[in-house]
Amino acid sequence: MEHSSALVNQDAVSDILIVDDHPLYSDALEQALELVFSEAHIRKARTLGAALQEVDDGFAPELVMFDLKLPDVSGISGFVSLRQKLPHAKILVVSSLASFDLVQSLLKEGACGFLPKDTSARGLRAVLADIVAGRTYVPKDFQTPEDCETEQVFDHPKLADLTPQQKRIMQLICRGKPNKQIAYELSLAEATVKAHITALLRRLGVRNRTQAVVMVEGVIASQRGAEPEARAFLMH
């Protein structure tokens, strides 16, 4: 098994809670975490109820590894319940269940990141280094336009008609940049930026910047697809 050389601040984590109902995976995850946080105290829970009981009994983990598919919970409500119990803990969702919308919903509810269950030990260590350093981890497949520089998004028929300059401006809009900042970053006059934005909105058939961002996010979601089970999770 390979291990990354990513540096992890071990002093930042002394207590860890693993919430997963699969003993084999839970045990393997515990062993991987012990290699990263050699002095940490690790507890495991197979249900949401058991995890909440650990907290009620006084266990206050700095890090929680949380699987979405638990026998006593439906949808992301289990995550939300644990987040409310542990408002200051870093909760990293580790799941085989994933979609763009699901991951983004978890992040909005306070997850510090999302980790696919097929991640290697090397990848886990690198992710933990990010999480402990205060960063949020999101796999590239589940990032929003403001997280990534993806050019393939603009190959979609709805966006392909944009000029190269309009595409650059659209990326900056997706990151929430105001016209003045866009003008500075692209070395353009602010009036020129406004003209480009007016033209790109017309080409996209939308009325404002917000609708343009929603369209781009919709294109990303359609390109990635969404598993039926992951979509069902968001209905609970």
Alpha-carbon distance of 139 to 189, in angstroms, equals 35
Q: Is 152-224 in the same CATH topology as 10-142? A: no
In 9-139, DSSP assigns E strands to 15-19, 41-45, 63-66, 90-95, 113-116
CATH architecture under which domain 152-224 falls: Orthogonal Bundle (1.10)
Please name the helix (run of DSSP H) or strand (run of DSSP E) that holds residue 145, with its range, or none: none
The residue written with tokens 């590239």 in the block is 140
Q: What pLDDT does residue 149 have?
A: 47
Lowest-confidence region among 14-23, 25-34, 206-215 = 206-215
pLDDT band at 3, cuts 50/70/90? very low
Greatest alpha-carbon span in the chain: 61
Domain locations along the chain: 10-142, 152-224
CATH architecture under which domain 10-142 falls: 3-Layer(aba) Sandwich (3.40)
**Per-residue model confidence as pLDDT tens digits over 86-99:** 999 999 999 988 77
**Per-residue model confidence as pLDDT tens digits over 128-176:** 998 998 889 988 777 765 555 455 567 677 788 888 899 889 988 888 8
Q: What pLDDT does residue 233 have?
A: 58
**Per-residue model confidence as pLDDT tens digits over 36-59:** 998 999 999 999 999 999 999 999
Q: Mean pLDDT over residues 177-199, rounded?
A: 92
* Residue pair 29/18 in contact by the 8 Å Cβ criterion: yes
Report which residue type is found at 227: E
* Residue pair 138/107 in contact by the 8 Å Cβ criterion: yes
